[in-house]
Amino acid sequence: MTEDKYLGKQVKYPQQYAPEILVAVPRYLNREQYQLADNDLPFIGLDAWHAYELSFLTVNGLPVTGLLKFVYSCTNPSLVESKSLKLYLNSFNMHRFGNTAKEGLALVLNTIQKDLENLLDTEVKLSFHTSNNQQLPFDFNEYEVLEDVLDVDTINFTDFNEAPQLLSEAKNKTKEIKIATHLLRSNCKITHQPDWGSAYIYLKGKNTPDLHKLLQYLVSIRNENHFHEEICEMIYKRLWDKFKPEELMLACIYTRRGGIDICPVRASHEHIIPEALCDGHNLSSKLLRQ
């Protein structure tokens, strides 16, 4: 299995460009246990990545450093394993590209795009950023943070392994919710190191979740061992099956680790996908967990 090729192991950083180090992880490995068939997914969506430490040298040795953002569809066969991506991006550090920074950057971005598209068998949109001083768009202004609006000190949290049985319908018939939590925590599938994050949920339909129970459920993921994308799809599937919504969107914003953060988004319809977060050419405003 390719998932653990580098994770949890001591690996030397490559000193020269090394595309062969990239690892693709088939999505079906996790989807099967949640009855998610690649040819009949209840969602569309994207995986948005921010790599904060991309750097290379020009021909005359000038370092060029910045943030790489890239986005690709979740309906492709595979995801890129994050440690292999970290090693791959670091392989550019001492490699020389172009006589000028602009020329070198064009070569590097073209190279990364081709390598990722070959690996993932899908279109990859990417961009490079050296500053974000401008006012950046934010997708989640209307979302209420559960731990801020609920009396959380009165809730008993007793389940810390995923407990979908906690989910129940709200007694009041609210037809639409936009909620969030910054209490998302899961563990790496291979190393079991903790991953911290935020979840943003939009749900519209006849049945909506009891918010107290929803928060208890989201906290119950605390000891689950999955990749970020898998956690997102697991939560989405539980909500989809339980509440049978007309529309559903889930964005999981994870804290960067190893200089990279991963932000998977799953949605029932394209028009509810967060535009700024999923724009491969532009940055959006950083969230708390980034």
CA distance 290 to 287: 5
Annotated catalytic residues are 188, 195
Query: What is the 8-class DSSP label of residue 287?
Result: P
CA distance 129 to 32: 37
Query: 44 vs 49, 268, 285, CA distance in Å?
Result: 17, 6, 23
Q: Where are the alpha helices (DSSP H) in the chain?
A: 28-31, 82-90, 101-120, 146-149, 211-219, 228-243
Residue type, 141: N
Dihedral angle of Cα 262, 237, 177, 170, to the nearest 10 degrees = -140
CA distance 221 to 189: 13
Tokens 């979840």, residue located: 199
Tokens 């708390």, residue located: 288
Cβ-Cβ contacts under 8 Å for 99 (sequence gap 6 or more): 58, 59, 60
Beta bridge partners of 66: 54
SS3 state of residue 183: strand
